[in-house]
Amino acid sequence: MLTAFVKSWPRLWATDRASKHRRYSCPHLAKPLSFAAALTGDLQKSMSLADVMRTPIVAGNWKMNGSIASVDALIQGLVSSEDLECELLVCPPTVFLSQVRDRLIAKKRGSVIVLGAQDVSQHEAGAHTGEVSADMLSECGCRYTLIGHSERRQFHAESDINVAAKVERSLTAGIRPIVCVGETLEERQNGYTLSVVERQLDAVGEMISAEDWGRFDVAYEPVWAIGNGESASPEQAQEVHEALRSALQKNGDQNGTTRILYGGSVNQDNADALFEMADIDGALVGGASLVAESFLSIAASAAVRSTRSRAG
């Protein structure tokens, strides 16, 4: 049965842009193919390990927005989503984490829409007023945390060293970090884009151990593209993602399994073109993640990418 399924995978999952909202149903399996199964038979020949492991991810960074009532309304919109071949992550403000977790569990969607934090303390516990530890986030149900968002670096004086310490702390607590990197407009205009993002990544590499490569994801968020509706072009983003991919591989992510998300004015109109790019594995979405319909539309675009790479 498995062999028959694997052989017919491209046809079963084939879709196109016009039908991206269609439910991705498969008559053979109730759940998405497991990793082990995906590596079986003919499919193995046409897919690399990285293709299998780099499931697209669409993450919503709600930043400092929302209220108890608006969070409930947003979750209500999100839980009505179809199952898509992409990972959906929401990162609410810390005070709403438990509320979101409880709503997702109540709606039986906790395994489909996963929970993440926007930041984490670099300290383990103790006298750090206002900080939230990785263990606390884990207990609240967080599977991910953003680390080193440019707003933290710019407005809260977070250094590369702080970011690296937070990554190390999160990994210890079993939370998967999404490490944010990105250049300012001035740095881009002076030709420093690649050296800036590589420096930010190197700082993390210096603090983690060899086996931690592949245990975190990276988000490229050019500072100049955040919150203004002016996304980087797909080609601009791809250039940086490609450089990050080779830096990751050179450092220790031998199998190329680290996902690289793009963030900065992603919306339902530009998501398709961004996901066309070979090294854009997901999106980190700010403003558009606050509206269920636009967030889900971006996720549907990511699912098309997933389907395309499976179809080889």
Q: What backbone torsions phi and psi does residue 97 show, to the nearest 5 degrees?
A: -55, -50
If one asks whether residue 120 binds ligand 13P (CB under 6 A), the answer comes out as no
- Looking up tokens 């009505």 gives 80
In the complex, the smallest distance separating the C-beta of residue 183 from ligand 13P, rounded to whole angstroms, is: 14
Closest approach, Cβ 51 to ligand 13P, in A, equals 26
Among 55, 133, 238, 265, binds ligand 13P (CB under 6 A): 265
Instruction: Say if residues 186 and 144 touch (Cβ distance below 8 Å).
Output: no
Residue 284 engages ligand 13P in binding (rule: CB under 6 A): yes
226 is a site residue for ligand 13P (CB under 6 A): yes
DSSP strand E in 182-276: where? 217-220, 260-263
Give the C-alpha separation, 212 to 177, whole Å: 11
Which residues does 133 contact at the CB level (< 8 Å), separation at least 6?
120, 121, 123, 124, 125, 169, 173
Angle at 62 between CA 128 and CA 253, to 5 degrees: 75
Q: Of residues 75, 103, 287, 292, which one binds ligand 13P by CB under 6 A?
A: 287
Contacts (Cβ under 8 Å, ≥6 apart) of 35: 52, 53
Q: Using the structure block, give the residue that is written with the tokens 């830096």.
A: 247
Task: Tell me the two tokens of residue 66.
Answer: 């929302």
> Does residue 148 bind ligand 13P (CB under 6 A)?
no
* Secondary structure letter of residue 137 according to DSSP: H
Range 182-221, binding ligand 13P (CB under 6 A) = 221
- Which of 263, 281, 292, 294 forms a contact with ligand 13P (CB under 6 A)? 263
Check binding of 286 to ligand 13P (CB under 6 A).
Answer: yes
Q: Which of 149, 151, 183, 241 is catalytic?
A: 149
Nearer to ligand 13P, 116 or 286 (CB): 286
d(CA 107, CA 208): 37
Considering the complex, what minimum distance in angstroms separates the CB of residue 266 from ligand 13P? 5
Q: How far is the CB of 288 from ligand 13P (least distance, A)?
A: 6
Nearest distance, CB of residue 34 and ligand 13P, angstroms:
31
**Catalytic (active site) residue 149:** yes
Q: Does 312 bind ligand 13P (CB under 6 A)?
A: no
Spatial distance between the Cα atoms of 2 and 9, rounded to a whole number of angstroms: 10
Residue nearest to ligand 13P (CB): 286
Active site annotation includes 241: no
Residues within the interface to ligand 13P (CB under 6 A): 61, 149, 221, 226-227, 263-266, 284-288
